[in-house]
Structure 1
Amino acid sequence: MLLRVRGRSIAWLPPLVLLAVIALLDWNTSGEFRIISWIVLVPGIAAAICGVWGTAAFAVLSLLTYVAVDTSWPHQYQTGLPDFILVAVGGVLAILACAVRVRGEQRMLHMRDIAETTRRTVLRPLAPGWGDLDHAAVYLAADSEARVGGDFYDIQPGPYGTRVLLGDVQGKGLAAVEAAAALLGTFREAAYHEPLLHTVADRLEVRMLRHVRYTAALGRDDGDRFATGILIGFPEGASDAPYTIEVVNFGHEPPLVVAPDGVRSLPPGDGLPLGLSELAYLPPPVLSVRLAPGETLLLVTDGVTEARDAAGAFFPLRDSLARAVAEDPRTADPHLLVRFVREGTWRHCRGQLADDTTIFAVRRR
């Protein structure tokens, strides 16, 4: 139902007002200019904004109003049976049209629920403080109707520390979602059980290759499917002293380290995207990076870095962050940081996202 005030539907109001206006105007016009047949518009308006039963009620009410108003005129001015048939047929057609519209809306809502369930399955909700990390994330699908795409992220605590993964599957559509789900499933198991981060990286590469072979066996054209990503390992330990994290970069934009005193980039790394090891396999290096307490890692997909304004200029993420942190050091907080980047990206591209966009910020609690 459309048109709600304080949670209550007032969709019945426009067709009711139109019905009353047509009846009053017809009553106050001359006999040579009758407009009572215009009442056929009332069920049509109801069909667009009311439910089936509401439309049926207006179809009946329109017919009764037509009879009452028309018979109140002298016989020579009555429009008679032809317009009565017009109003009756118009009401029936309006009811049928409303039924089709309501069925389409119900199907659309069902598909939206499926898309939302898929999104929650791929990008599962993360509890506050999960893995002893403060974190915040936002995902914006380029296809606002689909609400899910090839971007993925997750946090997996385990006996060997907490591992974080963010990535972007090449391509769009359900095939990209399927590849993202496969990688996340492997990450959640390997990140928990494997003691070494490079073993987790190897497991992700093998999973991507297996997925591509599987889709090829099904006859699908996914032979060039790959994914960029960032894999990070946070060690166990207190957060009140500098600590070392491990980073594996699979051809992704390197994360930014955002602190109250400035912004810097992590080393880019030399790893290939996941799924390309058969071309030239070089194990991705595991980089060790020193972080201070209060420093936040910002990981984004190319929906942010490749956002363009009207002149075609890319979003200056690092410079914008540096200015924001200089003005307000609290911007380094994960939730404030994600909000700032989301709003900045949205303004820069004027809401026209060219690709799925993920903004993910984490730091030790």
Structure 2
Amino acid sequence: MALLVTILAVDWNTGGVFRILSWVVLVPAISATICGVWTTAAFAVLAMACYVLSDSAWPHQYRFGLPDFILVAAGGVLAVLVCAVRCRGELMMLHMENVAETTRRVVLRPLPPVWGGLEHAEVYLAADSAARIGGDFYDIQPGPHGTRVLVGDVQGKGLGAVETAAALLGTFRESGYHENDLATVGGRLELRMLRHREHSRASGRGDGGRFATAVLLDFPEDDRGSVRVVNFGHEPPLVVGPSGVRQLPYGEALPLGLADLTEEGLPAVRCAALAPGETLLLFTDGVTEARDSFGAFYPLAAEVCRALAADPRTVEPERLVACVRDGTLRHGGGRVSDDTTIFAVRRAAARTPRMPRPVGGRSPR
């Protein structure tokens, strides 16, 4: 509207030798980029009406007449058509974003703030902002044998990685609840990965060679001062507490999907001490492999130590996750080149009710 008024004012006050009335064709054209279809049509009609009224007020020798009126009318019709196409594309994009968000909520289900006796916080940054989901995965599964946590990263990107992550999470949610031994849960994940690869090959897809790194944790109910860990070739978690930052040992197990390269049995389970108030920080390689403009990797442990010294409350899961997220984005120039998961978890001060035991009182086999 401001552009239309400006064009009419300039055209009326510059004399007959300099007329820009035909520029009103820009009004519906610009409206098509920012307004709806009916608004664009209204501006097109208004532009034609203003053209007729303004042009007829001039002496005959200074009038543009019918040729420029046809230009304004044709521009208005084209602007309405373009606006209709744009609005249709926006609706389709909105629908696809809703589908992507629904898929993300199915694969990475929302977790209560305190779940299974654990206080946690997480941030997921997908490299593909439109897809909103990639190959990283995480979950917490309470059960009669304790609360299990899984954080991992599927090799590769795209829908194949999302499908693999969904398969592993489905297996974890069942075996993590039913199985008493953490090594057995790890074995079920390995078997599921091999089955998924075999299915991918049989289906003729090119992602049959995928594998996944993962960290599997167990918080037993009978020992609140420890955590059991199975590491499938993943970055070892950091233990962040009032006394500082330390790293859990590297895992000896191969990534999920590569166990057929060895003759070893179930993966080894490590037990680590966990003092009250300490938080476990789990992350994927999107954090540790974030590079700055000089190509230097993000110094995660050093940054967490610095933040903890500046504010001891950084040990809290939400503050810790926010600190690592902000540091990673700042180090990478505001973007991530790979899917990035930051997951912090610790035992809650107040214990939550235990999950119901399976029917029959024992785990199904």
Give me the TM-score of the superposition, normalised by structure 1: 0.93
| 1:237 positional shift | 4.6
CA offsets 1:223-261 (integer angstroms, 9 cap, x no match): 21000000000011585xxx1211000000000000011
* Match among 149, 168, 176 for residue 191 of structure 1: 176
Matched, 1:233 2:218: yes
Moved more, 51-60 or 21-30: 21-30
Matched, 1:356 2:348: no
| 1:363 positional shift | 0.3
1:20-99 alignment, distance < 5 Å: 20-99=5-84
CA offsets 1:52-95 (integer angstroms, 9 cap, x no match): 00000000000000000000111121110001100000000000
Matched, 1:106 2:91: yes
Matched, 1:331 2:314: yes
How many aligned residue pairs are there? 347
Q: Which has the higher contact order (CA 8 A, sep 6+)?
A: 2
Give the distance between the partners of 1:113 and 1:224, measured in 2 at CA: 30
| Partner residue, 2:252 | 270
CA contact (8 A) 1:261 1:326 kept: no
Q: In the alignment, residue 307 of structure 2 is paired with which amino acid?
A: A
Give the distance between the partners of 1:99 and 1:37, measured in 2 at CA: 24
| Partner residue, 1:345 | 328
| Partner residue, 2:295 | 312
* Match among 165, 183, 200 for residue 180 of structure 1: 165
* Match among 301, 306, 326 for residue 284 of structure 2: 301
Q: In the alignment, residue 130 of structure 1 is paired with which amino acid?
A: W
1:156-171 alignment, distance < 5 Å: 156-171=141-156
| Partner residue, 1:249 | 231
SS in 2 for 1:109: helix
Q: In the alignment, residue 145 of structure 2 is paired with which amino acid?
A: Y
CA offsets 1:288-327 (integer angstroms, 9 cap, x no match): 1111110100000000011111111111111111122222
| Partner residue, 1:154 | 139
Give the distance between the partners of 1:21 and 1:76, measured in 2 at CA: 23
Give the distance between the partners of 2:316 and 2:198, measured in 1 at CA: 42
Give the distance between the partners of 1:83 and 1:222, measured in 2 at CA: 59
| Partner residue, 1:8 | none
CA contact (8 A) 1:119 1:147 kept: yes
Matched, 1:223 2:187: no
CA contact (8 A) 1:261 1:329 kept: no
CA contact (8 A) 1:205 1:275 kept: yes
* Match among 225, 238, 259 for residue 241 of structure 2: 259
Give the distance between the partners of 2:263 and 2:297, measured in 1 at CA: 32
Q: In the alignment, residue 34 of structure 2 is paired with which amino acid?
A: I
Give the distance between the partners of 2:120 and 2:3, measured in 1 at CA: 53
SS in 1 for 2:139: strand
Moved more, 215-224 or 58-67: 215-224
| Partner residue, 2:272 | 289
Give the distance between the partners of 1:172 and 1:351, measured in 2 at CA: 21
Give the distance between the partners of 2:304 and 2:12, measured in 1 at CA: 68
CA contact (8 A) 1:205 1:274 kept: yes
- Give the direction of change, closer, same or farther, for the CA distance of 1:327–1:262 in structure 2 (3 Å limit): same
| 1:281 positional shift | 3.9
SS in 2 for 1:360: strand
Give the distance between the partners of 1:328 and 1:238, measured in 2 at CA: 29
CA contact (8 A) 1:161 1:236 kept: yes
SS in 1 for 2:87: helix
SS in 2 for 1:219: coil
Give the distance between the partners of 1:48 and 1:362, measured in 2 at CA: 46
Give the distance between the partners of 2:94 and 2:243, measured in 1 at CA: 47
Give the distance between the partners of 2:307 and 2:26, measured in 1 at CA: 56
SS in 2 for 1:278: helix
Structure 1 unaligned blocks of 5 or more: 1-15
Give the distance between the partners of 1:48 and 1:281, measured in 2 at CA: 63
Give the CA RMSD over aligned residues: 1.0
| Partner residue, 1:200 | 185
